[in-house]
Chains A and B, each alone.
Chain A
Amino acid sequence: DGGITQSPKYLFRKEGQNVTLSCEQNLNHDAMYWYRQDPGQGLRLIYYSQIVNDFQKGDIAEGYSVSREKKESFPLTVTSAQKNPTAFYLCASSLLGGATNEKLFFGSGTQLSVL
């Protein structure tokens, strides 16, 4: 089945530690996105990538980093500079990334908590 796979489902971070969230898609989509979800705040865009080896900052990129070395993969690293990392992280993809009427396909999310 085609889709987006996020792993792990639950992740715990110690103080000062970097952690990486995995996102893989087999939909052959060009564009991929990372959103952060906090209770009562909806979804906020962290980073997005419309093509391999290129990505743009979203509204809350500070303390995060990404890479897009392969079309199907868009890992997100939460660095020690992110002081409030506890949240639900959602990865998404879309076919082209430039059209206004594109549907986003979402993974099932990773819940990150601080120990």
Chain B
Amino acid sequence: GDSVTQMEGPVTLSEEAFLTINCTYTATGYPSLFWYVQYPGEGLQLLLKATKADDKGSNKGFEATYRKETTSFHLEKGSVQVSDSAVYFCALNQAGTALIFGKGTTLSVSS
């Protein structure tokens, strides 16, 4: 079945460092891909999405490009802030089904 694999965390960075969180997927068809973020004690919020190959999703300085040839959707940010500390989830969605999530990657940014 369809699945999402994320890099294991936690990821610990200093403020202004470059961030990459790897995400690869397995799916039949042409899924849409998402990154959601969860701040402590809260539900998830959509960070960005891409609906077809070569699309780039972006929001709040975060970017991810839908790479069909490598089945990847890696999350990047050029300069992280302390306020970016959260758990990040990669997810995919096929038509007629519910969202499938990866296991999440915890990011901790220190000043």
| B32 interface residue per 8 A CB criterion | yes
Q: Does A109 sit within 8 A of B, measured CB to CB?
A: yes
Interface string of A30-59 (1 = CB under 8 A from B): 000101000011111100100000000010
Q: In the complex, what distance in Å separates the CA atom of A81 from the CA atom of B41?
A: 27
* Interface size class, chain B: 20 to 34
B37-59 interface (Cβ within 8 A of A): 41-46, 49, 51
Q: Are B99 and A108 in contact (CB under 8 A)?
A: no
Are B49 and A101 in touch, CB under 8 angstroms? Answer: yes
Given contacts A40-B103, A98-B95, A106-B43, 7 further A-B contacts (CB under 8 A): A4-B43, A33-B99, A43-B104, A58-B98, A90-B43, A99-B95, A106-B44
A interface size (C-beta, 8 A): 25
Report A's interface with B, CB cutoff 8 A.
Answer: 4, 6, 33, 35, 40-45, 48, 58, 90, 92, 98-104, 106-109
B73 is an interface residue with CB less than 8 A from chain A: no
